[in-house]
Chain A
């Protein structure tokens, strides 16, 4: 019996994972080469979050970015501000998202999805997706919120049958 949901707070405590953290959900996906898989970028147990910059490092030789859409965590009366940049040479995906309130930025607390990314695997193998140190959280006053843990994701790509 294993409790390996990456969003399980009890498991995080048992594994001494400090919070807040950025995680992939799911954190491991089995797939075939030539197919696509979706992962969500989750902010875990963050307090007063208004905006985030997420940078994901991926193996560009083995993965093609198919799509990036916004998550629901920063939703308010209006959709959150959301855009992304994909550097296919370096294999870096930058995602920027911000929550808008009525007169000011809105902030959220807890655990939620910031973005949904979809990758297509072009080659077999275990492909790691990592968050870089350039990831940032800020509150409504643009004060940085410390991100204590960055947990990677794995795409377990098998040969095409």
Chain B
């Protein structure tokens, strides 16, 4: 039975019908608004070998970056968790494409971001996927592995947000990422090995080049100058040897062709002289060559020894990144901590 209210001649059943219609329309509008404005769902970052609370905090930060800094409309996390904790989904955590699609369908969104952080020994492995429900292929994937402090996960999660959504990240964040990346390579000993190998190979190819690569320009210049001088001296010896060698054969021909005993005697002496000269130049050239090769080996050894250790490399990275124009602080510092 419909209760009616008489108010100055207004037909109450009509009013109620109108109110009901308006309410339905409002609900529909709200539903459509939710459905239309919130095309992106971001699931919590799945933790592997890190505390769940840390993963949840990082997830919160990630969503904050996507909504506030990048400006994407995202579905509230409560709704997402509600779906994940329901009977239709088996896992609390989701980091794979298949479950992203499952959840995306349940939520009725266009895109879903799933991710994970895995602490594998000394390495952190960060992986994120952007799944577009309409495409069968993965729209974007971001993977970044690094060695370092857990605090570095905060800027890296931010980087992942920008990468997955194909947005240009701020310069400061980019520098932080570069710093973390370089530190990671150094901490794993990769930079030390690579630097040492490069310096050694360069010095093997060109004496002094390895030292220059290591920014020891004085040593590099010294090696180059020394080897060039010795090389020039060796070349000079070779040219002298060649002249003596040719001269010897000229005198030999003259000696053979001569029938005057005095001339024969003179040419004989000339042959002896040029032969001795040739031998001397050969010996000197051998000595110089030995010196060159000894110094070459020494230069290679020095380049190898001179290469910086991991500690020195880390110090250098700290110094370099503490003087960048994009960082307002005098020293690079990660401002957030994971509670």
Which chain A residues have a beta carbon within 8 Å of chain B's beta carbons?
A: 1, 3-5, 7-10, 25-26, 40, 42, 45, 110-111, 113
Check if B259 sits within 8 Å of A7, measured CB to CB: yes
Closest-by-CB residue of A relative to B269 is A10
| Contact A7-B261, Cβ < 8 Å, known A1-B271, A1-B275 | yes
Check if A5 sits within 8 Å of B255, measured CB to CB: yes
Q: Give complex CA distance A110, B260 in Å.
A: 10
Min distance, Cβ A10 to any Cβ of chain B, angstroms: 6
Is chain A's interface secondary structure helix, strand, loop, or mixed overall?
Answer: mixed
Which chain B residues have a beta carbon within 8 Å of chain A's beta carbons?
A: 248, 252, 255-256, 258-261, 264-265, 268, 271, 275
Closest-by-CB residue of A relative to B258 is A5
User: Using Cβ atoms and an 8 Å threshold, which residues of chain A touch B252?
Assistant: 1
User: Using Cβ atoms and an 8 Å threshold, which residues of chain A touch B264?
Assistant: 5, 7-9
Q: Give complex CA distance A9, B262 in Å.
A: 9
Most chain B CB neighbours (cut-off 10 Å) among A7, A40, A42, A110: A7
User: Using Cβ atoms and an 8 Å threshold, which residues of chain A touch B271?
Assistant: 1, 3
The contact of A25 among B259, B265, B268, by CB within 8 Å, is: B259
| Contact A9-B265, Cβ < 8 Å, known A1-B271, A1-B275, A3-B271 | yes
User: Using Cβ atoms and an 8 Å threshold, which residues of chain A touch B255?
Assistant: 3, 5, 8
| Contact A111-B261, Cβ < 8 Å, known A1-B275, A5-B255, A5-B256 | yes
Check if B268 sits within 8 Å of A10, measured CB to CB: yes
Q: Give complex CA distance A79, B121 in Å.
A: 112
Is chain B's interface secondary structure helix, strand, loop, or mixed overall?
Answer: helix
Closest-by-CB residue of A relative to B275 is A1
User: Using Cβ atoms and an 8 Å threshold, which residues of chain A touch B268?
Assistant: 3, 8, 10
Check if B259 sits within 8 Å of A113, measured CB to CB: yes
Q: Give complex CA distance A58, B245 in Å.
A: 39
Q: Give complex CA distance A26, B259 in Å.
A: 9
User: Using Cβ atoms and an 8 Å threshold, which residues of chain B touch A7?
Assistant: 258-259, 261, 264
Q: Give complex CA distance A7, B264 in Å.
A: 8
Min distance, Cβ B258 to any Cβ of chain A, angstroms: 7
Most chain A CB neighbours (cut-off 10 Å) among B252, B255, B264: B264
Min distance, Cβ B244 to any Cβ of chain A, angstroms: 13
User: Using Cβ atoms and an 8 Å threshold, which residues of chain A touch B260?
Assistant: 111
Q: Give complex CA distance A45, B261 in Å.
A: 9
Closest-by-CB residue of A relative to B271 is A1
Most chain B CB neighbours (cut-off 10 Å) among A3, A10, A26: A3
Q: Give complex CA distance A45, B255 in Å.
A: 18
User: Using Cβ atoms and an 8 Å threshold, which residues of chain A touch B256?
Assistant: 4-5, 26
User: Using Cβ atoms and an 8 Å threshold, which residues of chain A touch B275?
Assistant: 1
Give 29 pairs: A residue, B residue, CB < 8 Å, sorted on A. Answer: A1-B248, A1-B271, A3-B255, A3-B268, A3-B271, A4-B256, A5-B255, A5-B256, A5-B258, A5-B264, A7-B258, A7-B259, A7-B261, A8-B255, A8-B261, A8-B264, A8-B265, A8-B268, A9-B264, A9-B265, A10-B265, A26-B256, A40-B259, A42-B259, A45-B261, A110-B261, A111-B259, A111-B261, A113-B259
User: Using Cβ atoms and an 8 Å threshold, which residues of chain B touch A1?
Assistant: 248, 252, 271, 275
Q: Give complex CA distance A3, B261 in Å.
A: 13
The 7 closest A-B pairs by CB, nearest first: A111-B261, A8-B264, A9-B261, A1-B275, A5-B264, A3-B268, A5-B256
User: Using Cβ atoms and an 8 Å threshold, which residues of chain B touch A42?
Assistant: 259
Q: Give complex CA distance A9, B275 in Å.
A: 20
Q: Give complex CA distance A157, B265 in Å.
A: 30
